[in-house]
Structure 1
């Protein structure tokens, strides 16, 4: 099989490469997949990415003979060669850092399960990724976006009512798009105005929402949802136009369309709306640990990278707290 340029491997190429691996390696990959899914409880997307990186690594080690691939041949020199080839093909620092992490996770597992004698992973250095922050809406732009989606729902069309509830809840809570799509009807507590969210790594958290989001949710459930329900519909909070659970692609398209009508607003999706919510919380005086809990970050360091405090707020804190301000 002719190999695609390193760092540019397409999913179809990885599927073909995996099919060409020897039976023993294929079985090891199936065991590793179960480990990632059941023991580490990673999302399907992350599992696919990790497996794709491992398959690409094994293909690099095997060279032109993938049918002779051998996990035992993975050493530090091969890991460095693999990353160097990708860097030469134009892979970004972020991509290289992610693939190095995937390689380290695999070699650690391979040693524990007898596929490797020594673990080269801890000695593998990779460039630190550039952490870029997404564009955010100003508070007035967010208000205009909510007004726009509310106007669309004014005539009471079921899909428009759903769309308003989706956008209002995303901005009110700052939850991830996957978390929103995974919400069920019994995850909403109206008396406390909170939702129960299952986040990354199976971590559950409770996130509050405000009155506008509550109104939009109640209107969707009272007047809209029943028109999309079918006999096979799940107990999902938000349904697609055919009665199934709404999918992430539809939500991303919706957010882009709503924001597009706001003058001078950056083109953002649900992730940008999540970041906007976090930014506006900080500008309003919320502390980082509160935002960390709301966003569902495992560590405060992630929140510090994910959010930014405005210069105005920093100056206000300095003026209020420093004796020589």
Structure 2
């Protein structure tokens, strides 16, 4: 099976254009699966073997979510083996995914978002940069890797759109909104050259050293700004992505449009936010209705 797993991972990377992080995660899950199977050939693996492996993960305390992810990797592997003619049957076809507790993403309220966006002061290159990054993240729902990877040529503030490359190297066009456009335009006009100094970089957002912003650097920035804004909710860059999607749906956006803006390949990934909006409504009803 070792050779076939290598062929599968290469297929994901080269032919499917899967992100390097995704391939690495699948590699870890499948290496563990291979250790369980031993020397069995692809055609010798049965549904009972898959079920026994998942049961073993459960006894080891692996969470339902992690077991479901492992099963997803196994399903894709065995589907690949059948499609490529390495075996005739898919032993994962009748195996159901482990069910766990639905964990809803953390979302900021509109008031908390406003406080966070107002936390950078109105002067200085760093303040102007942080304001632009926060405004843009909330306005577009970008992943943090997409935000810090933006290049100057991928943002058109006059047209109000940006182009980003998401998971699987898929391009998508995302509207920016007026507030984000103003903040980014000001950053470009007043702050970026100061940060760039004598160097050169195609990256839109730069550090104090004139280098491209990293995910870790922006994580520290958003934690700092949340503290300044008095936001008590535990926050990460993804919190603003969650807030972006939830606030759109709360204000009447359709699920399909939100899916496109988030860059989700599957609508089911976006549907989690419908659960968030329902839970928020229940909480508001319980808090403010006389018989809640």
1:221 aligns with 2:188: yes
Q: What is the 5 A alignment of 1:270-309?
A: 270-307=237-274, 308-309=276-277
Deviation at 1:199, TM superposition (A): 2.3
Cα distance, 1:72 vs. partner?
Answer: 5.0
Flag as ranges the 4+ runs of structure 1 deviating above 6 A: none
Provide, for residues 269-299 of structure 1, a one-character-per-residue CA deviation record: whole Å limited to 9, x for no partner. 1211111122222333323333223222234
SS of equivalent to 1:206: strand
Q: Aligned equivalents of 1:231 and 1:32: distance in 2?
A: 46
CA apart distance, 1:86: 1.0
Q: Which runs of 5+ in 1 are unaligned?
A: 1-23, 63-67, 316-325
TM, length-normalised to structure 1: 0.77
The offset of 1:55, in angstroms, is 0.7
CA contact (8 A) 1:97 1:129 kept: no
Alpha-carbon distance in 2 for matches of 1:290, 1:168:
20
Matched, 1:42 2:18: yes
Residue ranges of structure 2 left out of the alignment (5+ in a row):
286-292
Distance 1:82 1:240, change over 3 A: farther
Distance 1:73 1:260, change over 3 A: farther
Residue in 2 that maps onto 1:13: none
1-structure distance, mates of 2:117, 2:23: 35
Aligned length: 281
Q: Are residues 179 and 129 of structure 1, via their aligned partners in 2, closer, same or farther at CA, if it must alter by over 3 Å?
A: farther
Aligned with 1:207: secondary structure?
strand
Match of 2:123 among 155, 159, 178: 155
Q: 1:85 aligns with which of 36, 50, 56?
A: 56
Distance in 2 (alpha carbons) for counterparts of 1:48 and 1:231: 37
The 5-angstrom pairing of residues 1-325 of structure 1 reads: 25=2, 27-62=3-38, 70-71=41-42, 73-149=44-120, 151=121, 154-157=122-125, 159-229=126-196, 233-263=200-230, 265-307=232-274, 308-309=276-277, 310-311=280-281
CA shift, 1:30, in A, is 3.3
Q: Distance in 2 between matches of 1:80 and 1:249?
A: 39
CA distance in 2: counterparts of 1:257 and 1:70, whole angstroms: 53
Equivalent position SS for 1:122: coil
List per-residue Cα deviations over 1:119-152 (Å, max 9, x = no partner): 2121222213433222211111111111112x1x
For the structure 1 residues 242 and 74, does the alpha-carbon distance in structure 2 shift closer, same or farther, using more than 3 Å as the test? farther
* Aligned-pair Cα RMSD in Å: 2.6
Task: Give the conservation status (yes or no) of the 8 Å contact 1:282–1:288.
Answer: yes
**Residue pair 1:255, 1:269 contacting (<8 A) in 2 also:** yes
TM-score (norm 2): 0.85
